Amino acid sequence: MLGLFKKKNKQVVTEAERSLSRMDRDIYLIQQWISHLHEKGEEVRNSHFRHIEVTKKDISEINKWIRYLHTHNSEIHKFVRETTNNIIDLRKSYNEMAFRLEKIEKGQLRTLERTNQGQIEDKSALKKDTSEPIITSISETERKVYKTEFNGSQLELLNLMYHADRPFSYEEMAKMLGKKKKSIRNLIYELREKNINVKSKPAGVRKKGFYLDKEEKIKVSGR
């Protein structure tokens, strides 16, 4: 009876040891899982912080682009306004030239009085502050000398530079012909488009003087 009890007690101890062993193994596995989950949690946490940093950089770059686009948009608006104003001015110049051309075609363009036998007044005349523009005349002989495809305004400017003994700036020519500075600039561009070699060189601080050299005067005169 005692032996049977000991045998039973031994079996109980053995089963208890096995149970403890399984518990130790389960605890070890649980610890491994906890360690694994902790590592994964740290990875997720670090990834989250890295994502936050990248997002901050992206937001900073986006803000830079927004500022750039805003500045660029303002420049485009300014350019559009200036272009619109230039188109309006060109339209006015076109209407003026069309009106003058119509008068030329109808033979109604009045002959301007010549000054000093068709020559430009001396330099001292430019210093006088007069309300009347200084305009050289275009005689019938000069109409034959110049090519017929020039309109009235172009002929006036061409005649002015033909008789000039020095380069004139935009302001001087505008005053002499009673026109706007922008109109003179457009007329010079039109003459160059018609193969008239209007040359320029510095004429003071931030100014250019425009003139025809001897060869070009001979060319336009047809001599």
Per-residue pLDDT averaged across 168-174, rounded?
Answer: 93
Check whether 78 has a pLDDT greater than 70.
yes
Contact 137, 114 (CB under 8 A): yes
Whether residues 117 and 217 fall in one domain: yes
Whether residues 191 and 102 fall in one domain: no
- Domains of the chain: total: 2
Q: Choose one of 82, 110, 138: the last residue of a domain.
A: 110
At 221, list the tokens.
């005169």
Per the document, the length of the chain is 223
pLDDT band at 145 (very low <50, low <70, confident <90, very high): very low
Q: Which amino acid is at 203?
A: A
Task: Assign residue 169 the CATH number of its domain.
Answer: 1.10.10.10
Output phi, psi for 33, to 5 deg: -65, -40
pLDDT band at 63 (very low <50, low <70, confident <90, very high): confident
Task: Name beta bridge partners: 202.
Answer: 208
Would residue 102 count as lying in a domain? yes
Would residue 187 count as lying in a domain? yes
Q: Which of 92-96, 107-111, 123-127, 193-197 tops mean pLDDT?
A: 193-197
Would residue 160 count as lying in a domain? yes
Which region among 54-68, 84-98, 100-114, 204-218 has the lowest average model confidence (pLDDT)? 100-114
Check whether 5 has a pLDDT greater than 80.
no
Would residue 83 count as lying in a domain? yes
Whether residues 93 and 122 fall in one domain: no
Would residue 121 count as lying in a domain? yes
Whether residues 118 and 103 fall in one domain: no
At 156, list the tokens.
């006036």
Indicate the pairing of strand 199-202 with strand 208-211: antiparallel
Q: Choose one of 81, 110, 139: the last residue of a domain.
A: 110
Residue 89 belongs to domain spanning: 71-110
Whether residues 212 and 142 fall in one domain: yes
Whether residues 120 and 106 fall in one domain: no
Whether residues 85 and 123 fall in one domain: no
Check whether 148 has a pLDDT greater than 50.
no
Q: How many CB atoms lie within 10 A of CB 199?
A: 14
Q: Which amino acid is at 96?
A: E
Q: Which residue has the tokens 């109604």?
A: 108
pTM (global) more than 0.95: no
Whether residues 95 and 171 fall in one domain: no
At 222, list the tokens.
């047809």
Q: Choose one of 63, 85, 110: the last residue of a domain.
A: 110
Would residue 104 count as lying in a domain? yes
Q: How many CB atoms lie within 10 A of CB 197?
A: 12
Would residue 1 count as lying in a domain? no
Would residue 61 count as lying in a domain? no
Whether residues 91 and 173 fall in one domain: no
